[in-house]
Structure formats: C-alpha cells, structure tokens
Chain A
Amino acid sequence: MDALAPRPVALGEPEVPGVAVRPVGRRDRTYARCLLPALVLLAVVTVAPTVYLIVTSLTPLDLTRPATALDFTQPLGNYALLLHDHRFWNSVWVQAKLSAGTVAFQLVGGLALGLLLGVRSRFVAACRTLFLIPMVLPPIVVAIMWKVLYTPDISPVHTALLALGLPIPALITHPDLALPAIIVADVWEWLPFTALMVLAALKMMPEEPLEAARIDGAAGWQILRHIVLPYLRPALLVAGLFRLIDSVKAFPLIYILTDGGPGTVTEVTNYYAFRQAFNFSYLGFSSAITLALVAAVFLLSWWFVRVVGTRGDVE
C-alpha cells in the first residue's frame, strides 16, 4: 500500500514527471500582474468616485462658491444639517413606503406570474414574450406612458371611467394616491423581472421531488407550499434584493409623473439629493445624503440576506 501512496511533491518539482510547474510565489505574481489592469480600472471607475463622494460630503461644497470645495473646517457639518432636515427625513419615509410597496407587490405578483408562465402550454409560451415588454422599455418611455394614463385631460382610463359615471380624481396630484400611482407604474414595469427569475428557477427544478409528492398523494397547494416555494426561495431572494436596490434608485417615474409632489409626498431620498445637487448646486450636502443612502442600502441588503435569506436553510 505504501508504494501506492502519493509521494509528497516538493515545491517547484513537477507533479507529473517531465512537466515543469512554476513556483507558487512566481505564479501568484503572474496572477497579480494579470489582475492589475482590472484592479486599476475598478479603482478608477468605482473607488475614486466613492472616495471623492466621501471627501465632498465633508465640505460645504456649493458650486457657486468654488472655494468651499476645500473647506474642511466643519467636516461633519452636512451630517449635522441632515439630522435636523425635516425634508430629508420625510424623503426617507417616502422611500421606505415606495420600496416596501414595490418590492412586496413585485415579489408576490412576479411569483404568481412566473408560476403561470411555467405552465406547459403553447398559448402561455406565446404570451411569455409579451409579458417581458414592460421590462425592456426605456424607463423614460414607461414614465411618459403612465403620465398619459394618469392625466385626466388625455387619459383613456379617465375618459372611460367618466363615461361610465365613475369619475376619479387626478391620481398624481392627489396626496393620498400619488405614491400608490407611482408604485403601480413601477410594479407594472418590473414585475416581469421577478417573473422571469421565477420562471428560470422553475425550469431548473428537478422533476423527482414533484413526482414523489404526487405519488404520495400530495395536493397541488401542498406541493407548492412544501416543495416549489422552498426551491424558489433563493431566486426570490435574489430578485427581491435586486428590486430593493433598484427601488432606491427610482427616478424617471418620479421626475416625469410628480416631480416629487404634490408637496413632497413622492419625494424619495435620491430625488432630494438630486434636487440639492443639480437644482441648487449644494454638492457637499447632496454627497452627505447620497452616502447616508448608500449606507442604508448596504445595511438593508445585509439584513435581507442574513435574516430573510438564511431562514429556511437556504444556502
């Protein structure tokens, strides 16, 4: 047996006789050299702007006063302002409502749509492409389309409801309905994304557990509850995470439909940061808002993966 045991290979000695192997240190250096361009690129396009953002957030940079770019006398001044900025906290609350609404509806609706599209049928197969259309439309086109639907003067929906004797108020100028109106438009646009992820996961699902369950006499809902949903959980988690991060970046719908109004009922945090930077030139303050937003998204994503993701032994 000892004769059959593999002989330890010395560093630098060929594992296969006659084939030269580079020493580990040299190999690492080669890998490092190959990686270097990518790392430099990453540093330039990602790390440098982030560092600039952090540095800027420590200054009261106002583009109309260029000297403020190097004013570090009150490095935490912007953050102190944020704490007392009522409009910022309002935007955080609006953001929370928007994210919760869009992610929840997109997960539930996307799951239902994905399961429906997973049915083996020629008709359903033909419909799959149609359901993907909202997702591939440019966001600005989606926003303009919903603007038409929500504007009473030109909306076919408003006109039809009026003809039926069921007039409704203008949704995007109503303080209670403006945010739900944006949620509806966002769900319509991104529901197919979740459905597509669910559909892809369903296609990968092995048949055996389903067959075994059927043989054991499990009902359809039991199969869904105990086999399909646990199997889809990782896909739903990823979809939810993507949608959560994207919901924080919601912009075109708000820009076109409501401009953050009426008042500030649809002004989310990134829209507030945009307004501070590009309407008023307060780049320092806007950078602080953006960093707060990045930190919140990071923490939220971490929580989502740790708490939601590990529940049910999903790995």
Chain B
Amino acid sequence: MTVTPPPTRHRSTRRAFLRTSAGAVGLGLVAARAPAVLGQAKEFKGVTLNGACFQHAYTNVLKEFLKEFEEKTGMRVNFETPAFPVYNQRADLELSTRGSAWDFLNITFIYSGRWIGAGWMSSLEEFLGDRNATPADWDAGDFVSGAQASLTDAKGTRYGFAWEAGAMIMAASRYDLIEKAGMKMPETFDQLGQVCAAIDGKDGVKAFVNDNLHHWHWPPYLLGWGGKVFVNPPENLTPALDSREAVESAEYYANLLRQYSPSGALSYTMDQGALAHRTGRANLRTQAIAWLAPLATAADSTVKRTVRFAYMPRGQAGAFPGSVSHGFGIPAGAKNKRAAWEFIKWALSKEMVRRAALEKGYIAVCRKSVIDDPQYRKNMTLNGQDLAALYLRVLEESGRLGYMRYRMVPVYPQVGDKMNKAIERIVTNQQPAREAMAQAQREAVLDLKKAGIKIDA
C-alpha cells in the first residue's frame, strides 16, 4: 500500500501559499503607506494649529483656501497676519524666547540669518527624509534655488520653503507722460534723474514714489554706484556706509524722495506707496514685482492702460535689483511640529501654488513647475509686457552674482535701521549726506560690537 499525498491538497497548499504570500505582500505595502494616509486623519483631528505671517497677497489666498485644509485634516488653523513691521517684531521676540505660541511662521528674509543662525528654527530635514511625512511627489527640488538660499544654512540644512520670491523692478504708472516728454523708460540712474526732472508735476503727478523701507530700496542704488553695505559679507561684516559711493548714492536716492515724491511720502508704508502709485498720484517706483504688478491687474488701479515695466536702472557698476524670499518654517519651540509640517506641505504644494498663480493671479511664485507653466507665462504678460521674463532675470542675476548676501546676515536689522535713519536725515535736510552716512557708520559699528561681531580697525 502506497500512500501518496493527495494531489488536491498539494495544489491547495501551493495556492494557499501563493494567496498568503500575495496577501502578505499587499498588506505589507498597505502597512507601509497606511500610517501616512490613515495617520493623517487620526493624528491631526482636533489639533489647533497656530501660525503667523505678515499680511501679503499670498496669505490672503491661503486664507481663502484654509477651510479645505481644515476639512481634509480635521485641524483648526489660527493664522495671524499682522502688518510687516508688527509681525517681524512679534516673531523676533517670540523666537528669541523659544516661545510656543506659534507652530509655523514666516521666515522673513532680513531675519533669516539671525533666526536660523541662532538656532531658533527647526530643521525640516527630518520631515523631508521621511517618506511618510513627505511623499516624493511633493518635490522639494521644484523650488527655485535662489529663493531657497536664505532658508538654508551653510551645511545645506533646510529650515523653510519659500512662498515668495520678491524681485525688484521699475514701473511707471503713467508712461504716457514719459512719452509725452519725448523720453523712454530710464535704463540708467542718470536717465532716471532726467526723466524725473522732465515729468515731475505734469498732470498733477509726482515723478517718483517709494515707501519708508529705505534699507530695502536704497542698497540697489548703492551697489549700482559701486558701493557696499558690508565689506565682504558674511565673512567680514564691517559696515561700509561712509564710503564715497555710499554718500553719493544716498544723496541721489534721497533727492528722488525729497524733490520728486508726494508730500509726506517719507512716512509712507508699503501700502501707502502702492496706493499712491496705483491711483496715479506718482509715476515711477522701484519695488518688488508683487507690489508693482497690481498696477495692471488690481480692480482699483486707475493706471491699467498707461503702466509700463522695466528692469532696475543701472549705475556705473551695473544693475543690482533687490531680490528676497520669504518662506514658511517651524519655530524650535513649536508644540505641533508634525502638524505644522502638514500645513506647510499643503500651503506650498504644487497644487496650491498653481491655484494661487492661475486662479488668483499671484505672481511671485517659487515653484519652477508653475513658473514654466504656459498659462502662468500668459497671465504674466501684462499690458503687452512679459513680466515673468523680468522676474526670472532678477532672480537669476541675483543668484548668479550673489550680491544679496548683505541682506541675509544676522545683524542686518541693526544696520538696516541705521540706513533708514540716515536716508531720512538726508531727505529732510537735517544733515548733508556725508555727515548722515558717517553717523550711520559710527552707529552701525557700535551696534555690531554689541553683537560681538569683529570689525576691521
């Protein structure tokens, strides 16, 4: 009697084995992905996320879509957006005390070196390296490298992701007046002075306007003149505010404000400057593209048909339009870091950036995939001018030449304050430019010594 194993059982075992194996592999795959998918729904339900940024077109867009995020994750988001200076002061204080009031916040460009350098921000590498926390299709490499520079430390550790890349250009709200004077958009500082002299007061329009953030507006003129803010940032932070170039460019810029700007412009906030421009009370302005594009797009703009854009004018040393980037990051003292990362991922996802750009007309986007989108390029063609080309040119040039390093050092707020005060003293004739800049230099040196910075003798 031979006992043979029942064939059916053999077949059945093989099938069962295959079924079990396939099931195990399937379950394994599901298990690998599950925490990211299922975890989100459970992990964040009921979490209240607190965050802040200064008020901006992009934060307005985010607020519009915030409900979608809250419904998707079960979180509640308190998103504060005070004015720029108020936000910066509050954030600086909050971070310096390792506070936990905010789970995410904006890393303001001029504070980026200070906040990241002092260890007040959380590294995002942990989240970026965890595929459950950050799926590959979020594509961190899609962000414009120039915009990410201020949010990354020297070792390459990422502390934030950019939502705005600001690129300074020039805009004339009433180009018709310039044409009427037989001139064109100024390409040099000399031409800018000549155009201002020719069109000032014509049709009741002042020739030039800017706001009171002189440490943003004036340095491009200083660099164009051949001067520097610091001797060699970030290695040598000795200020160079009393150089011949600094004195001459400060006098030149102050004169634009003194002679050709509306009465009271010296106290203008960014909003006030933009309003004066948009309502056609002032003609030329050098400012970030996000503030100038609304001349052609804002509903209340009275200059849509007469607006014209151009690259920043150049001096003898060249053209150095300012470029900045602001990004979302997570404070070191934040309580809900994982939830905060969910918010940042959502706020800066390809989909959200694309919606902001294409549906809401947001311009200063930082994702290459959106900038290359034909629809975006079409939307950025304003009044027949390709604004996207100007935008990219500024970002590329500032990245290539690296001249914005002066603005990323930890002590820039202190030195920027001295520039602001000096320009105000020159504009109001309290001091000649030479004295004002010498005083700015002395005060900057004193402040940098307080910060423990080594200064050249």
Instruction: List residues of A whose CB falls within 8 A of some B CB.
Output: 60, 62-65, 68, 81, 85-87, 150-153, 169-170, 172-175, 257-259, 261-265, 275, 278-282, 285
Contact = CB atoms under 8 A, between A and B. Distances in A.
Pairs A-B, 8 closest by C-beta atoms: A170-B264, A63-B96, A263-B425, A173-B266, A262-B424, A64-B118, A262-B428, A152-B264
Interface of B: 89, 92-93, 96-97, 114, 117-118, 212, 262-267, 272, 275-276, 281, 410, 413-414, 417, 420-422, 424-425, 427-431, 439, 442-443, 446-447, 450-452
A37 B383 CA distance: 72
Contacts of A170: 263-264, 266-267
A11 to B, nearest CB: 56
A37 to B, nearest CB: 29
A63 B267 CA distance: 30
Contacts, number: 102
A279 B89 contact: yes
A173 B421 contact: no
Given A64-B410, A64-B451, A279-B89, A262 B276 contact: no
A153 B266 contact: no
A153 B272 CA distance: 9
A151 B428 contact: no
A153 B280 CA distance: 12
Contacts of B429: 175
Contacts of B264: 150-153, 170, 172-173
A242 to B, nearest CB: 29
B263 A152 contact: yes
Contact of A279 (B263, B265, B417): B417
Nearest to B411: A280
Contacts of B276: 153
A83 to B, nearest CB: 12
B350 to A, nearest CB: 35
A265 B117 contact: no
B421 A278 contact: no
A150 B263 CA distance: 11
Nearest to A260: B421
B428 A173 contact: yes
A280 B413 contact: yes
A261 B421 contact: yes
A87 B445 CA distance: 13
Contacts of A261: 212, 266-267, 420-421, 424
Contact of A81 (B118, B265, B446): B446
B414 A169 contact: no
Given A262-B428, A279-B92, A62 B452 contact: yes
B450 A282 contact: yes
A154 to B, nearest CB: 9
Nearest to A281: B96
Contact of A280 (B272, B421, B447, B452): B447
